[in-house]
Amino acid sequence: MSALTRNEAQLRAQLLDVHHYAVTLDLTTGDETFDSTTVIRFSARTPADTFVELKPEELRSATLDGRPLDPAGLTGNRLPLTGLAEGPHELRVDARMRYSRTGEGLHRFTDPADGETYVYTQMFMDDVQRVFPAFDQPDLKAVFEFTVTAPAHWTVLANGITTRTGDREGDGAGVWTSAPTPVISTYLAAVAAGPWHSVTTEHAGLPFGIHCRKSLAPHLDADADEILSVTTACYDRYHEKFTEPYPFDSYDQAFVPEFNAGAMENPGLVTFRDEFVFRSAVTDTERQRRAMVIAHEMAHMWFGDLVTLAWFDDIWLNESFAEYMGYQTLTEATRFTGTWTEFGMERKPWGYAADQRPSTHPVAPGPDDVPDTASALLNFDGISYAKGASALRQLVAWLGEKDFLAGINTHFARHKFANATLADFVDSLAAHTDRDVHAWADIWLRTTGIDTLTPEIQEGAGGWTLTVDRHGSRPHRITAGTYTRATDGLLERTDLLDLDVPSDEVISGAGPRPDLLVLNDGDLSYAKVRLDATSLETALRGLSRIPDPLTRAVVWGSLRDMVRDGELEPAAYLATAEAHLPDESDLAVVQGVLAFARHQVADLYTAPAERTAALATLTTIARDLLRRTEDGTDPGLRLAAVRAFIDSATQPDTIAAWLADGTVTGGPELDPELSWRILARLAVLGAVDEDAIDTALAADPSATGRQGAARCRAALPTPEAKAAAWQALFHDDTLSNYLFTATANGFWQPEQTELVQDYVARYYPEAIAVGARRGPAIGEAAGRWAFPVHHADEANLRAGHAALEDPEVIPMLRRVLVDQLDDLARTLRVRGA
């Protein structure tokens, strides 16, 4: 299949205007394929030859202006359209298309809980071609209308309001039509069909709905008020910020199974992974994360859907803005006011990690950096999301929110229902400020890497002075917090200093130097920060005594970066966690520290001989948190502690007793998530067998139960279990995307490195082969989840780098392998340090 190049897209955009797609889908033709008939109306500006893209199972017929085209002319995914005269044209295509099991195109899923089937589209980048033919590039926008024939008991959703217009004679299948959309890009067209459970309401004169599988109905109903209240609050707040009204006729949110991303911003029909319909207990931070995704996707209705990038080098115009707006608007409009703390603990480290790998790229890459759609797909990472959002937060601090919002609204007015570039956006901002926004954009958005800011404090007679050493090239507008120990042990903030870095100004203070000085207090910029020696000593001893959780998040982030850079021993980080997490009041901080301590410090950065001691420290922390929450006043913190204890257990006795009793001692009772989590840990420890897994699956035959069972079976420490899992991953080609990931998650375990040593050399050629056969989604999963991450040695590094020379490595897998190998090298450096 040919990837569309930027040059090809620019040429086609000069030749064509696309007006309308009438797409007819028949979803009643079997379990493997569906029928797709499409009429595209378009115009040629000059006489031309061009092509339309399509990836059919069978191209039955195609006619251009009534003239038959030879189906054999389809080459790869391109059907030539030759001899176009200037003026209007009509292309009709009839094809048989294949359902996807990997979350690409039209994904089909049968729920093991009740046997009901659901389908939904994920058209992003170039997967619309798996559903219907298209001039598939973002700057050829058109109106879309769908007619869908589906089983009689199904409901069909689409970008516009859908109506059941009739029943087919003979079998009573429903025929549904969608209202025409405004002009949108091809990748944003969407359909979702199945026996949905729906909760609907009306807000601001528009229909709003949330939808999920029938088997999840009780769980959606339990959270419907929260989901809809967040949705409507964000909707109202965006209308206070933006002068352009919401541009579509309805707002549906469908929680769909086996979704690869967190969510997708299809206009009027946002799709979410249905893990956001919580079937087990979750922490309030996880509820906040779901709310942030809701806010993020709604921001896309303006950033991405109303105004769309012209080419994928400007993907940041979609994702960075939605990320920033999601966090900021949630803070302003809902009960979730601690969003930036969670961003600093969990989201921003994603950006920092991505920006320190060989695969890093600017937030806004240049045109030559994104030559085709295959390369564009690689840039959906921590840079386009977290770094970009951090850069925008810094821009607001530098520009002022009033001018920032004025520039955004000018941008919407100039480019609504059209396409825009970085240059267009910067011009809109520049219209509302005397600041040099163009220079700011070049420095912040066109460069790579992270600056490091280090304070230098000099004490003298009667006072102290502060200068900031910047290792990097960007200007930063930050605040520096100064703290002094109070008599009760708290660290009281004594001042909040506004700083521009670099600056010739020397900050001075009277009296003794502060006990703690925190650069970037408030986390308004994107930079690694270091603590001076006195502040580091104060932080290690008194971190939990800092009053503001966002400041604590900044300090924890500094310690995390020091560990990753080999400047702080992993054991020191664990000791700090042991000293301060039992007193930590912010759940996002607790969860962020525990996640880094468990999956990075204990599993990777700690030498194998010391790993058991590291896990023991984590179980001690968990026990302290469990004791603290015995009174039931903080169920979210207790849940986080229970999870940490389970994941870090080195002996099966306690967690096996919990599983047998169906409850944690002192609560909570085990729900499906906790039960599968315990069973997975027991499988790693060799304390359960296949029969126990089968029994658990019989008790929970849901989709998540199947995933839990796959993970547990792959984690069993026997040669037979490993061989069966490997066969399923790399040779059977029948696993869906989610079952592939679950199996991969179970296979490699640090406790089992000797057992699976022989598979390390096999991994690279077999991952390359499966990526080539099954495509980008499985290729990415093979690189991200099936990589032998715990085998941190030079032999693995050499094998991996040799594999990158294989010409059969698909771009998505190559990108992930480059990142994994760089992380592996970092692990070795940290252990050596």
Q: Which residues of 427-445 are buried (b: 16+ CB within 10 A; e: fewer)?
A: bbbbebbeeebeebbeebb
Length of the chain: 833
| Pick from 20, 7, 2, 16: nearest CA to 87 | 16
| Contact present, 312 and 378 (Cβ < 8 Å) | no
Bond into 207 cis (ω within 30): no
Residue 456 has phi, psi (to 5 degrees) of -125, 115
Helix (H, G, I), strand (E, B) or coil at 194: strand
Does 794 qualify as catalytic in the annotation? no
- Tell me the two tokens of residue 189: 């067209």
Helix (H, G, I), strand (E, B) or coil at 322: helix
Helix (H, G, I), strand (E, B) or coil at 470: strand
Q: Is 182 left (phi over 0), alpha (psi -120 to 50) or beta?
A: beta
Q: Tell me which residue has tokens 């771009």.
A: 811
| Pick from 457, 567, 562: nearest CA to 515 | 457
Strand boundaries in 380-471, DSSP class E:
418-420, 452-460, 463-471
| Contact present, 722 and 759 (Cβ < 8 Å) | yes
State the Cα angle at 525 between 520 and 528, rounded to 5°: 65
Distance, CA of 591 to CA of 509 (rounded, Å): 36
DSSP states of 648-715: H-SSSHHHHHHHHHTB-TTSPBP-HHHHHHHHHHHHHTT---HHHHHHHHHH--SHHHHHHHHHHHHH
**Which of 297, 319, 323, 342 is labelled catalytic?**
297
| Pick from 139, 306, 281: nearest CA to 673 | 281
Strand 48-53 with 33-44, pairing: unpaired
Give 6's contacts (C-beta < 8 A, 6+ positions apart). 311, 313, 367, 370, 371, 372
Distance, CA of 127 to CA of 775 (rounded, Å): 11
Helix (H, G, I), strand (E, B) or coil at 556: helix
DSSP 647: H
255 forms bridges with which residues in the sheet? 272
Long-range contacts of 623-629 (CB under 8 A, 24+ apart): 624/578, 624/581, 624/582, 625/581, 625/582, 625/590, 626/666, 628/582
Distance, CA of 779 to CA of 384 (rounded, Å): 21
| Contact present, 206 and 166 (Cβ < 8 Å) | no
Residues labelled as active-site residues: 297
